[in-house]
Structure 1
Amino acid sequence: MKNIFIAISIFIALISCSKTKPNKQSQQVVNKQDSITIKQLFNTSLTNGESYEWLRDLTSNIGGRLSGSPEAQQAVEWGEKLMKNLNFDNVWLQPVMVPHWVRGEKEEAYFTSNNVKFNVPICALGGSIATPKEGVLGEVIEVNSLEEAEKLGEKLKGKIVFFNRPFDATLIETFRAYGGCVDQRVNGAKVSGKYGVLGVIVRSMTSSIDDIPHTGSMGYGDLPDTEKVPTAAISTKAADLLSKKLKENPTLRFYFKQGCKTLPDAPSYNVIGEIVGSDYPNKYITIGGHLDSWDLGEGAHDDGAGIVQSIEVLRLLKLNNIQPKHTIRVVLFMNEENGLRGGKKYAEEAKKNNENHIAALESDSGGFTPRGFSFDASEKNYNLFMSWKSLLAPYGLHDIKKGHGGADISPLKSETISLFGYKPDSQRYFDYHHTAIDTFDKVNKRELELGAASMASLIYLLDTYLK
């Protein structure tokens, strides 16, 4: 009897081994096929890519695309026509009401010290009110934080408040340096306005020391109209000079003039295109960037690059005869820069229609050399995503870790969705961010194409392995 039990045990063990072995071989075959597919996606993007020429068209022929502007509407029409020409399964416009702020005539600024006049490169911040027609002239108080302004309180009355906290140059990740300063731009007027200040000027959000001012959004919170003050950014070189001259002459006077205004909300659209999934047509993987940009430049890195890369992902899948299991949807979001209305509207409609989004990827960090992806996901999927590092590392995608997905896809956040942010090299991004020099010529063709292939590779893996 004992020998019979031993024989049966050996037989069962042999069956088990024979069952496990094919599974291991099957996994090896899958991994090999993944490598082959990813290589094909990169080869196609680098030898037959269209993203660069699309970007040339979007930026050079349309230009800056601030929400509510005629250029933003032209961009909507451009995106819809392009995705229809690419024969995506479905292409449509999703209506959304957006803020409509206009800059007006070019801003002016200068300060005088010891009878010497210094002209200052300046630009109004998005959402700011105008100065009086004659402009604003007053003494300056320099501060380095919102907290410092709050402590000064009534001492700010009748003055122009100058927020001058620079980027932390020791931070390797420049988005962290930006995050450490941007509260001055966003909330400087909100904090200072209640103390009767004449206006607010802010050091531009960049580590570069140059004469290029950077715009960006600001807000007044719940301040009454009587406490809202004109707010602008000055170049970093001008900020350094002003700070130096204030130490020599604390009573120097600063002048600036701007004619911006906020108009009633305007109708606009998210532009959406998709390839319907073969196995799970009602499960969605979304890719996107924001179609709007600031008005000063052409919005090439921010975020024309993300727009054309997102569209290119679907084209690369089609060219390589990859039929996705899930529905892959490209969304060109409107109004990321000064309201996030497009991202919120998309999430609102997804919830209303009971759409099951399992993953989303956003590209909104420029068109530079690929470095990796950040992801906001459940612990359940953590090991799966980290296991892809060996597949992506040969293409320079080493930096894969938990982090932020992106502003436009953030309203989709839930316990079941995985949010990803595409991460190119960030060292030059804030040289161009929100400026007049964010133009097509600042984008490198090969870097842009590598980014599109990187995104397509991640989408392929998500579609293959997520259920």
Structure 2
Amino acid sequence: MKHIVALLCLFISLQSSAQKVDAETLKTIYNTSLTNGKSYEWLDHLSNQIGGRLSGSLNAERAVEYTKEELESLGLDKVWLQPVMVPRWVRGAPEFAYIETAPGKTTSVNICALGGSIATPYGGVKANLVEVKSIEDLKALGKEKIKGKIVFFNRPMQADLINTFEAYSGCVDQRYSGAIEAAKFGAAGVIVRSMNLRLDDFPHTGSMSYGDLPNSQRIPSAAISTNDAELLSGMLSLDKNIKLYFSQNCKQLKDVQSYNVIGEITGSEFPNEYIVVGGHLDSWDLGDGSHDDGAGVVQSMDVVRLLKESGIKPKRSIRVVLFMNEENGLRGGKKYAKVAKAKGENHVFALESDSGGFTPRGFTFDCSDAVFNKVLQWQPLFKPYLIHYFEKGYGGADINPLKESSKTLVLAGLRPDTQRYFDHHHASNDTFDAVNKRELELGAATMTALVYLFDKYGTSTITAEKQLKN
């Protein structure tokens, strides 16, 4: 019994000493990021010198070259490009739309084509409208009331949900599946209320799908700004006979080759255990993609730099992966996971930043209860930086495919304050001026701190500690 008590006392003493070391290391990481960060400088170039980076575009190619060069300048052990075939959709000439109340009496409205949509026929589409709140409403109306008309999906994001991603998930089906469902009933086109909690004049694009619908049955699909959605709905309530005209010139071209950009610090003790940190390099084309996901890209790049600047020599191999094609295909994430599985690589932890560059609040973790309980013990280390949100949940779209090759892999997602995120998401105001330098650098430091802790302790140490306590 005395031996057990002595071992427990020794364990508690060692644990207390380790926490002090960890607290000092986190302080160094945060100080370095806030006084000597690189993320904001990198984002400035990515956003203002390159711009929107739609998969398959020249700007996406330029972003690959730029980030590869910057990672090489950090003196990492390895930097390479991982080829991946990506879709190439082009927007073409600017879209145009108006509401017609009578011949010659029109009101212009703000729209943008949804990613993956076909163009309107030459001369555009003009038709009466039918307004619905959901795909279920659409089905209830039936073909007789829909054929030949433009379907107007007008379900807003649920404003009383504090979790804005939950509000987004609750209505994004109308954007993604609206056209394929409306086409089944003979609709001439689809207009979708933008996924935005704010009332403004910015239409928000995003991916949509026709599934396996034949080309001959596909109909054009566009997003309308929230202000104009309110206007259109109000006008329809007064006069069901008004018409909407819209024209767009988008086109789906053949797939092209692009790349994931990967940099690595090789682990000093466990080089065959991999920790991944990343974001997606592609963006939509309306803005410059600063929040979605330029912020995640530069924060991930700064993680490996901050580790080196802080004098931390990782035990495990740390990889920064800048994924291509998250927005309209997820092919970069799938390709990385496929190659990792084929090589038999042992990924133990993956962290993604794809929720904007706002003030970090914490993380969500996709892991076992045992690992999560250990993570909760690290929470006090983040408290001085006002990081308090530690919950089980989703890791991220690009790292999620890695789960297929490992049952013990821990996934995590950086969770910043997202109340303003959907003001900019997929819109022309997702620009560099909307990103705060200090908030961005706090996020980079927060990610680095979590990577440091997972690298230092690993999941095997977590299991060992649990056995010792038992």
Q: Identify the TM-score tier after normalising by the shorter chain.
A: over 0.9
Secondary structure in 1 matching 2:142: helix
Alignment partners' CA distance in 1, 2:218 and 2:197: 29
- Give the equivalent residue in structure 2 for 1:211: 201
- Give the equivalent residue in structure 1 for 2:165: 175
- Give the equivalent residue in structure 1 for 2:219: 229
* Cα distance per residue 1:158-204 (max 9 Å; x no partner): 00000000011100011111011100000000111121111000000
1:23-422 equivalent positions in 2, closer than 5 A? 23-114=11-102, 116-154=105-143, 155-413=145-403, 414-422=406-414
Structure 2: unaligned runs, 5 residues or longer: 461-470
Please tell me the residue identity of whatever aligns with 1:32: K
Q: 1:434 aligns with which of 426, 435, 440?
A: 426
Q: Which moved more, 1:384-393 or 1:176-185?
A: 384-393
Please tell me the residue identity of whatever aligns with 2:95: E
Alignment partners' CA distance in 2, 1:230 and 1:451: 39
The alpha-carbon deviation at position 348 of structure 1 amounts to: 0.3
Please tell me the residue identity of whatever aligns with 1:438: D
CA RMSD, 1 decimal: 1.0
Structure 1: unaligned runs, 5 residues or longer: 1-11
Alignment partners' CA distance in 2, 1:361 and 1:90: 19
Secondary structure in 1 matching 2:328: coil
1:423 aligns with 2:411: no
Alignment partners' CA distance in 2, 1:59 and 1:455: 22
The alpha-carbon deviation at position 301 of structure 1 amounts to: 0.3
Alignment partners' CA distance in 2, 1:206 and 1:180: 12
Secondary structure in 2 matching 1:463: helix
Q: Choose 1 or 2 for highest CA Rg.
A: 1
Secondary structure in 1 matching 2:15: helix
- Give the equivalent residue in structure 2 for 1:3: none
Alignment partners' CA distance in 1, 2:7 and 2:400: 43
The alpha-carbon deviation at position 351 of structure 1 amounts to: 0.2
Kept in 2: contact 1:67–1:335 (CA 8 A): yes
Q: How many residues align?
A: 455
The alpha-carbon deviation at position 380 of structure 1 amounts to: 2.5
- Give the equivalent residue in structure 1 for 2:441: 449
| Percentage of pairs with the same residue | 59
Alignment partners' CA distance in 1, 2:111 and 2:8: 68
Q: Which moved more, 1:49-58 or 1:115-124?
A: 115-124
Provide TM-score, normalisation by structure 1. Answer: 0.96
Secondary structure in 2 matching 1:287: strand
Alignment partners' CA distance in 1, 2:11 and 2:213: 64
The alpha-carbon deviation at position 364 of structure 1 amounts to: 0.2
The alpha-carbon deviation at position 360 of structure 1 amounts to: 0.3
The alpha-carbon deviation at position 274 of structure 1 amounts to: 0.7
Alignment partners' CA distance in 1, 2:161 and 2:209: 27
Provide TM-score, normalisation by structure 2. Answer: 0.95
The alpha-carbon deviation at position 20 of structure 1 amounts to: 3.7
The alpha-carbon deviation at position 19 of structure 1 amounts to: 4.0
Alignment partners' CA distance in 2, 1:104 and 1:130: 9
Please tell me the residue identity of whatever aligns with 1:95: P
Alignment partners' CA distance in 2, 1:229 and 1:21: 70
Assess, with a 3 A threshold, how the Cα gap between structure 1 residues 122 and 22 changes in structure 2: closer, same or farther. Answer: same
Please tell me the residue identity of whatever aligns with 1:216: G
Alignment partners' CA distance in 2, 1:282 and 1:248: 67
Assess, with a 3 A threshold, how the Cα gap between structure 1 residues 16 and 207 changes in structure 2: closer, same or farther. Answer: closer
Please tell me the residue identity of whatever aligns with 2:119: A
Assess, with a 3 A threshold, how the Cα gap between structure 1 residues 150 and 34 changes in structure 2: closer, same or farther. Answer: same
Alignment partners' CA distance in 2, 1:451 and 1:190: 39
Please tell me the residue identity of whatever aligns with 2:374: L
Alignment partners' CA distance in 2, 1:435 and 1:144: 22
Alignment partners' CA distance in 1, 2:149 and 2:6: 82
Alignment partners' CA distance in 1, 2:4 and 2:188: 80
* Cα distance per residue 1:113-168 (max 9 Å; x no partner): 25631101000000000001100000000000011111222121000000000011
The alpha-carbon deviation at position 386 of structure 1 amounts to: 1.3
- Give the equivalent residue in structure 2 for 1:6: none
Kept in 2: contact 1:378–1:415 (CA 8 A): no
Q: 1:460 aligns with which of 452, 458, 464?
A: 452
- Give the equivalent residue in structure 1 for 2:463: none
Alignment partners' CA distance in 1, 2:448 and 2:22: 12
The alpha-carbon deviation at position 368 of structure 1 amounts to: 0.2
Secondary structure in 2 matching 1:221: coil
Alignment partners' CA distance in 1, 2:6 and 2:183: 76
Please tell me the residue identity of whatever aligns with 1:389: Q
Please tell me the residue identity of whatever aligns with 1:167: M
Secondary structure in 2 matching 1:195: coil
Kept in 2: contact 1:194–1:223 (CA 8 A): no
Please tell me the residue identity of whatever aligns with 1:117: T
Secondary structure in 2 matching 1:338: coil
Secondary structure in 2 matching 1:346: helix
